[in-house]
């Protein structure tokens, strides 16, 4: 298997990787321990069996060799053991056995009789593996040692089942250990995903081991620092925007008193743009801090129709194309500000706007403002929500605003527990969508 294939099979998640490493490592360790135990028990049992065979056979052959021939048969049963027995005579017909086991048994038996009696080992065919060692006693009488090597069982038969149970327990313990180790990372990731500077959410719990508590405290401290920096930035923006109003007002008064001419008109136009930019900056600063407006329950259909009629009364092309009945808990002024921003953009760049309201799931309400304007390039949809970002290609500077309208709408949407999304409309145009959760 190639390295690329192995890399493809390697788990993608940290949880699976740690679990696999622990499981394989511990399984190999258990397997080695089991193998060492099996080998040691096997070698010990074989050594005991061969040692017993060597010592007992040496004594038995010596006794049979010294007895008269007519008395040897009486001792055969007493000299036999569970894995071998003595037969007076040539024994059964077999085939030469050249296996290592036969050679080892032959060597032990020759050592036992001190090489005084030449031995030959034959394997006896049959259902049970048997060996027969043939030799001749001092008086020339043939003697056969019928050996039935028992299958050496170095471990109890129930031990493999215990090994399986241990492996299952190992899997469970490894999974619990990995879960315990990875859960703080999941909590940290969830806290990072839920991080929203526009709302004061709950802090990350610092309960748990020392390392987890330290990471949680560091994350909470980082969150507080980010919130402080953002608040400081907004306060600076609000302060500058507020302080600029006084010199702008003085400049406007002086321009009003100046003589009529093209220069005066241009100056008043520029002052108007600066004043709108300052007002948008103050509005953005206020929206980021949230307003003091309380939540109240409104009739959604009446609210949307009232907003639509206000635009229609001024000759604007605004229509409701979809509506749902029922009420919604929200901040009415913030909701009106958001939808007015969407409608104003649609009227500015498309000349007409459509409003659609629908329910999603059990509690979500989606309010969409649709237009048939030039839309926004896909790669700039996310950037369009950023403060002071202007879409130079699709929205020119003459018709564009300060670049704060959508940012203000996003801030207000977070304040009422909603979210804003922009996406291009099939067939051309843009959809600005507010989802109230």
Angle at 250 between CA 247 and CA 251, to 5 degrees: 85
DSSP 151-208: ----S-TTHHHHHHHHHHHHHHHHHHHHHHHHHHHHHHHHHHHT--TTS--PPPP--S
Higher local confidence (pLDDT), 399 or 156: 156
Read off the tokens for 178: 């990995």
The fold adopted by the segment(s) 206-289 is Helix Hairpins (1.10.287)
Tokens 């929500």 belong to residue: 385
* CA 392/CA 362 separation, integer angstroms: 40
Q: Given CATH 3.40.50.620, say whether it is the number of domain 14-147.
A: no
Write down the CATH number for the domain with range 293-436: 3.30.565.10
157-213: pLDDT as tens digits: 677 787 788 888 888 888 888 877 777 777 777 777 777 655 566 777 777 778 778
pLDDT of residue 352: 94
371 and 365 in contact (C-beta within 8 Å)?
no
pLDDT of residue 393: 46
Q: Is the pLDDT of residue 152 over 70?
A: no
Higher local confidence (pLDDT), 393 or 272: 272
290 and 321 in contact (C-beta within 8 Å)?
no
For residue 133, the surrounding DSSP H or E stretch is strand 130-136
- Confidence category of residue 395, pLDDT binned at 50, 70, 90: very low
For residue 24, the surrounding DSSP H or E stretch is helix 14-66
371 and 343 in contact (C-beta within 8 Å)?
no
pLDDT of residue 397: 42
Lowest mean pLDDT among 44-53, 171-180, 277-286: 44-53
- Segments making up each domain of the chain, as ranges: 14-147, 206-289, 293-436
68-120: pLDDT as tens digits: 888 888 888 888 776 778 888 887 777 777 676 667 777 777 776 666 777 77
- Confidence category of residue 127, pLDDT binned at 50, 70, 90: low
Average pLDDT over residues 374-395: 74
The dihedral built from the CA positions of residue 417, 420, 421 and 427, taken in this order, carries a sign that is positive
* CA 384/CA 390 separation, integer angstroms: 7
């Amino acid at each position: 298997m190639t390295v690329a294939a192995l890399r493809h099979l390697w788990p993608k998640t940290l949880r699976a990787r740690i679990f696999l490493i622990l499981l394989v490592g511990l399984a190999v360790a258990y397997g080695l321990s089991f193998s060492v135990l099996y080998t040691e028990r096997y070698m010990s049992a074989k050594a005991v069996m061969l040692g017993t065979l060597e010592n007992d056979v040496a004594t038995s052959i010596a006794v049979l060799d010294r007895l008269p021939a007519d008395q040897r048969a009486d001792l055969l049963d007493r000299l036999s053991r569970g894995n071998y027995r003595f037969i007076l005579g040539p024994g059964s017909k077999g085939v030469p056995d050249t296996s290592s086991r036969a050679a080892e048994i032959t060597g032990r038996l020759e050592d036992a009789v001190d090489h005084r009696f030449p031995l030959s080992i034959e394997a006896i065919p049959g259902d049970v593996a048997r060996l027969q060692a043939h030799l001749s006693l001092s008086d020339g009488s043939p003697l056969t040692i019928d050996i039935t090597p028992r299958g050496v069982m170095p471990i109890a038969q129930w031990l493999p089942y215990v090994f399986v149970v241990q492996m299952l327990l190992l899997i469970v313990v490894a999974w619990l250990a990995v879960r315990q180790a990875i859960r703080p990372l999941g909590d940290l990731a969830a806290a990072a995903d839920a991080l929203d500077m526009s709302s004061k959410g709950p802090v990350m719990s610092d309960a748990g081991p020392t390392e987890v508590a330290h990471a949680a405290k560091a994350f909470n401290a980082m969150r507080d620092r980010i919130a402080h920096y953002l608040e400081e930035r907004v306060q600076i923006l609000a302060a500058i925007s507020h302080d600029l109003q006084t010199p702008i007002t003085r400049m406007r008064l002086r321009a009003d008193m100046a003589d009529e001419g093209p220069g005066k008109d241009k100056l008043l136009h520029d002052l108007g743009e600066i004043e709108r930019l300052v007002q948008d900056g103050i509005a953005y600063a206020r929206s980021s801090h949230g307003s003091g407006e309380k939540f109240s329950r409104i009739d959604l259909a009446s609210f949307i129709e009232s907003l639509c009629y206000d635009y229609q009364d001024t000759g604007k092309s605004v229509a409701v194309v979809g509506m749902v009945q029922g009420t919604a808990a929200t901040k009415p002024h913030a909701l009106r500000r958001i939808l007015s921003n969407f409608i104003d953009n649609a009227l500015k760049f498309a000349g007409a706007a459509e409003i659609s309201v629908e329910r999603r799931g059990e509690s979500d309400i989606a309010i969409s403002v649709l237009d048939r304007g030039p839309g926004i390039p896909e790669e700039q949809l996310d950037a369009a929500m950023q403060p002071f970002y202007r879409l130079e290609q699709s929205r020119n500077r003459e018709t564009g605003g300060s670049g704060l309208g959508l940012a203000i709408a996003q801030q207000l949407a977070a304040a009422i527990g909603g979210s804003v999304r922009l996406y291009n409309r099939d067939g051309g145009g843009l959809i600005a969508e507010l989802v109230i959760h």
